[in-house]
Structure 1
Amino acid sequence: MYKGGVVDASVRPRLRGRLHQVAFVASIPAGGVVVAAATTVEARVAAAVYALSLVALYGASGAYHWLRVESHKKRVLRRIDHSMIYVLIAGTTTPVALLALDGGWAVAVVATVWVGALSGVALKVVAKSVGGVAGSALYIVLGWAVLLALPQLVRGLSDGQLGLLLAGGALYTVGAVVLLRRRPDPLPAVFGYHELWHCFVVVAGICHYVLIFQLGRAA
């Protein structure tokens, strides 16, 4: 709704959450495909962890942005939604590390990222607020933690696979900046900055999905 040519901040964009609701539905069969494509037990387990984290992220986001519930329940859904970002980061890193890195490095990266993710979830659950710059910084640092093993990744991934990994990370990072700054905000009543953030999440997720599919199939 517009007031004097300015969008009323209390009005939700009409497309709020729609993209992640569609992504949730798509992520279920897509998760099955990426697990089925894996050629070893280790690759299937790693792909299953990733697939479950993908479904959890889109499911939590879709529910939070769609369900109309009391304010206290909405706050709970918001914490779950934000917590699942940590879970997806760790879930995405798991198959990349296990299938592209040697044993010691793989274990170290997976352990580091999951400890960080679970710590982030705990903060979201117990803290009154872990958002804004601090929240975005935690997501970005954890998301790029896999680069601690960059020399090993360069050896374990093809140029195209490394490009997919970096492109996905860059898209997530740009999206986080858009969310933090709340702009650009192209069509606030229909498709605003938050919807733009969701677009970045989906496109970044596609990059990483293709990467993990390739790694599992070649395992």
Structure 2
Amino acid sequence: MTPQHEDYPAYARSERIADGVIHALGVSFALAGAVLLIVFSALAAEAQAGRIAAVAIYGGALIATFTASAFYHMTPWTGLRPVLRRIDHAAIYLKIAGTYTPLVVLIGTAFAYGVLAVVWTVALGGAVAKLFFWKSPGKLGPTLYLLLGWLSVALVWSIAMTLPVASTTLVVIGGLLYSGGVVFFLWEKLKFSNAIWHGFVLAASACFFAAIAVGVLS
């Protein structure tokens, strides 16, 4: 049996298979979705360089996050896990900020850009801290992820006034899915908790992707 570091739960084979399937779906979704969104944005009636750049940033963050998570959770080389975990957790910050980016560009107000500046500042600081300073995940990481994500409450009215109702609804559902999934992220003793958590992440990501796609194409 492969030695297991005390910080890394020892998952059963069935749990790893379930998590692997979800990660395969996630990486495939990120790759295909990013390409399609960039193409649709470029071909849209109101195609703008800013919008195309914003969805490219979002798509890149989406791909990076799902890929980093897949490498971390699926690697058979336990010696690499500490480094891969840092990359995985740092990428989450970039995904959060990357998701804000096209939504803010679609809103287009000075206030929204101010919120985006705060989000990217915190995200980059959190990513650097995860990569170089924090030695263990602890509870601070999930708390900061949630706080950064729920900062979007400041933009809900702007989203509702600017984007289609479907986009607003999907953003709210996506936020609730992320928040609900954190319960399973922290509940490590529950069987399949990791796969369930990543299932929530995939579902929430799909909601935000759809919200952005509707906004870009409307």
Q: CA deviation at 1:42?
A: 1.7
Contact 1:101 1:153 in 2 (8 A): no
2:199 counterpart of 1:199: yes
Poorly superposed stretches of 4+, deviation over 6 Å:
none
Counterpart in 2 of 1:14? Answer: 16
Taking CA–CA contacts closer than 8 Å with sequence separation of 6 or more, which of the two structures ends up with the larger relative contact order? 1
Matches of 1:59 and 1:163 in 2, distance apart? 28
Matches of 1:17 and 1:81 in 2, distance apart? 15
Q: CA deviation at 1:87?
A: 0.6
For these two proteins, the number of residue pairs brought into alignment is 203
TM-score (norm 2): 0.86
Q: Where do 1:113-192 residues align within 5 Å?
A: 113-129=119-135, 131-182=137-188, 185=190, 188=191, 192=192
Structure 2: segments with no counterpart, 5+ residues: 2-8
Counterpart in 2 of 1:89? Answer: 96
RMSD value over aligned CA atoms?
A: 1.9
Q: CA deviation at 1:151?
A: 2.8
Matches of 1:37 and 1:207 in 2, distance apart? 17
Counterpart in 1 of 2:81? Answer: 74
Q: What is the DSSP-based 3-state SS (H/G/I as helix, E as strand, rest coil) of the residue aligned with 2:16?
A: coil
Matches of 1:210 and 1:23 in 2, distance apart? 15
Contact 1:17 1:61 in 2 (8 A): no
TM-score (norm 1): 0.86
Contact 2:164 2:215 in 1 (8 A): no
2:37 counterpart of 1:42: no
Q: What is the DSSP-based 3-state SS (H/G/I as helix, E as strand, rest coil) of the residue aligned with 1:17?
A: helix
1:26-84: CA deviation from partner (whole Å, max 9, x where unpaired): 3212111011111322211111111111100110011111222242x210001101111
Contact 2:16 2:74 in 1 (8 A): no
Contact 1:90 1:114 in 2 (8 A): yes
Contact 2:100 2:116 in 1 (8 A): yes
